[in-house]
Structure 1
Amino acid sequence: MLDVFLRSLPSSYTLHTSKQLTRYVPGSPVVMHFADGTTAEADVLVGADGIHSATRYSMYASAHQSECTSTSEGSQAWQACPRCKVAQPVWTGIHSYRCLIPTEKLYGLNPDHTTKSLGSVLCYSGKGKHIITYQISGGTLLNFVALCREPDGEGTHYVHKWVTEVPQEEVISRFTFWEPEVKQMLECVINPTRWAIHVVKDLPFAIRGNVALIGDAMHAMSPNFGAGGGQAIEDAYILGRLLADPRVA
């Protein structure tokens, strides 16, 4: 997608890829600081840098310093502020176990497994858990996603790695009493990973001065909505139209 975007830009534009923003200093122009030690200036900064957005963190740190009263001091004081701490992603209380399953192995166990219907998307549902699976790579693999809800974890700050490899036994243990078809898939699980699904709650603001947030930097949502990418494209379209208006430009 990045390549498609870059190819659509006029050759007269100056492009810098693989730059990691660490913070910015508000002003006209805004001054951007990067991980490689370089800086750059711009009239407008659009933070499309995802759920771990350095733009969002910098925006709220700056806003906190100039607008909020706090007993805490230091660059991270905004994280304890009732208004500004919402800029930190929170855990949904959902673990997502993901892997690819070789269909040759699965259908060797059960030649009549329901997933054998090419193109079908199946959802196995239970209390606080569900599994979504479907064929990919011409039917040679199943994309396997198992979601487990931990109600006490919703809205908390996750203290472990967000994505980590886990043993097959951990995935199997979460679905001990499920139906035979599910157990057959679990027998074929290879190199599963566990993802702690995070979101960015409603922000009190996503624009400050000449800096704006879009996409996951502004409203990261859980993947079951199937809407995150589309919403980011809509953000970019609307912001682009606004910036192109003669009254702005």
Structure 2
Amino acid sequence: MAEPHAVIVGGGIGGLTAALALNRRGWAVTVCERAPVLDPAEVGLALAPNALRALDALSAGDDVRKRSAAHDVASIRRKDGRWILRTGLDETRRRFGDVVCVLRTADLSDVLLERLPRSVLHTATTVTNVEPGDTRRPARVVTDGGELSADLVVVADGARSTVRPELFLEHPGAVYAGFTCWRAIVPWPAEYPLEYGESWGQGGVAGVLPLNGDAVYCYATGNAPAGVGSQDEKAALVRRMDDWHAPMAELFAAARPEAIVRMDVWHVDTPLPAFHKGRVALLGDAAHAMTPNLGQGAGQAMEDAVMLAHHIDGSMAYVPTALRSYTDARLPRTSALVQRSAQLAEAVQNDSPLITTLRDTAAGVVGRFAPALLARYTSPIDDWWPPSEM
């Protein structure tokens, strides 16, 4: 009996995790990536305990931990540097069984690729059309290099997916969240220690997280119209950080100009009616793009990948039925997190002095006097476990 064949649209973290999950279940996999080379942006990524459990289910978690620096779940300061709330590594391990791991996106991509056959990835391959198929017909994927027949198609081409609108014509698609995000990996000698965490200001946040080696991962957000950039993003960002607590401006000033990555934030604010159609499954940002405020974009894509592989059984005729189970398992959870992340974004991107003062005061009270409320807030995010048989 021939191996079942899956075509994955998109070679990002979600697509590669899905490729690994399916390959481990006996699927032949083809990943179609439109970029000429797989070259992830040189930025950092924070993986919460739920994401690490998904990687553990794929026997990749320990390798990721080796390439990561450990961080806690919540360390937040005001713009002037005063702490709002803070949790430590020991407390994070006690509550969640693991810490947050921070690593370069390229390192995570390498971990996944090392576990896949080299023949899986097809770069410079743009998907132009997908016919979803049904119980009697396989799906058909049209690329600029030819056509592929597939027992399963996984759409993992991001928040601005080109395939999703063809599958769900009535859906409004991703909408602009109203703010942009700057990210950079910055050289920083280990002998000059930093206090890691996120800081909240008016109309945006800024953060610095640890990485292995003499570098740190920095990011900042700001309210701005979509598509409006600056000729010198580094200079504009350093000016923006000028009245934030030290060393935020100094950190971004130490970045190479080409290391500053700016990305407008889009999210799928209206849930899709389903995460599947025929033999096609949507995964990660293509299904449920969310703002970065919960740090769950990659984690939810990894959960998707593990659950998709779990729900697909050995009978190719019943793939559409299996995908219905995948939708039932994933749509309620991810829809709730999209909305929770949007609510947090609305709070931290608010530029009203009064509202930001009330926000910071309330968060500080919770952190100091009611830590159980903080645990209750993060528990639905982190308290996810993969199926035991994975």
TM-score, normalised to structure 2, is: 0.45
The aligned runs of 1:1-249 (5 Å cut-off) are 2=16, 5=20, 9=24, 13=28, 15=30, 16-18=120-122, 19-27=125-133, 28-36=137-145, 38-60=146-168, 64=169, 83-84=170-171, 86-87=172-173, 89-104=174-189, 116-117=193-194, 120-138=195-213, 140-150=214-224, 153=225, 158-159=226-227, 166-191=232-257, 192-201=260-269, 202-244=271-313, 248=318
Report the AA paired with residue 205 of structure 1. A
Report the AA paired with residue 146 of structure 1. A
Q: Deviations over 1:28-56 (max 9, x none)?
A: 232210122x0122233222333233331
Identity of aligned residues (%): 23
Q: 2:159 is paired with a residue of what secondary structure?
A: coil
Deviation of 1:59 (Å): 0.9
CA distance in 1, matches of 2:302, 2:25: 20
CA change 1:206–1:165 in 2 (3 A) is: farther
Tell whether the 8 Å contact from 2:21 to 2:309 is kept in structure 1 after alignment. Answer: no
CA change 1:224–1:49 in 2 (3 A) is: same
CA distance in 1, matches of 2:27, 2:199: 52
Highest CA radius of gyration, 1 or 2? 1
Deviation of 1:17 (Å): 2.6
Deviation of 1:9 (Å): 4.4
Unmatched 5+ stretches in structure 2: 1-12, 31-119, 320-390
Q: Deviations over 1:153-191 (max 9, x none)?
A: 5xxxx3458xx8734221122233333433333432331
Tell whether the 8 Å contact from 2:184 to 2:217 is kept in structure 1 after alignment. Answer: yes
CA RMSD of aligned residues (A): 3.4
TM-score, normalised to structure 1, is: 0.67
Tell whether the 8 Å contact from 2:22 to 2:309 is kept in structure 1 after alignment. Answer: no
Report the AA paired with residue 172 of structure 1. V
Task: Say how many residue pairs are matched.
Answer: 206
Q: Deviations over 1:215-239 (max 9, x none)?
A: 2210112222122222223223333
CA distance in 2, matches of 1:29, 1:179: 57
Q: Deviations over 1:52-74 (max 9, x none)?
A: 333313213xxx4xxxxxxxxxx
CA change 1:183–1:39 in 2 (3 A) is: closer
Report the AA paired with residue 20 of structure 2. F
CA distance in 2, matches of 1:44, 1:242: 12
Q: 2:287 is paired with a residue of what secondary structure?
A: helix
CA distance in 2, matches of 1:95, 1:33: 33
Deviation of 1:133 (Å): 0.6
CA change 1:144–1:248 in 2 (3 A) is: same
CA distance in 2, matches of 1:133, 1:21: 37
Unmatched 5+ stretches in structure 1: 65-82
CA distance in 2, matches of 1:181, 1:124: 12
Tell whether the 8 Å contact from 2:239 to 2:249 is kept in structure 1 after alignment. Answer: no
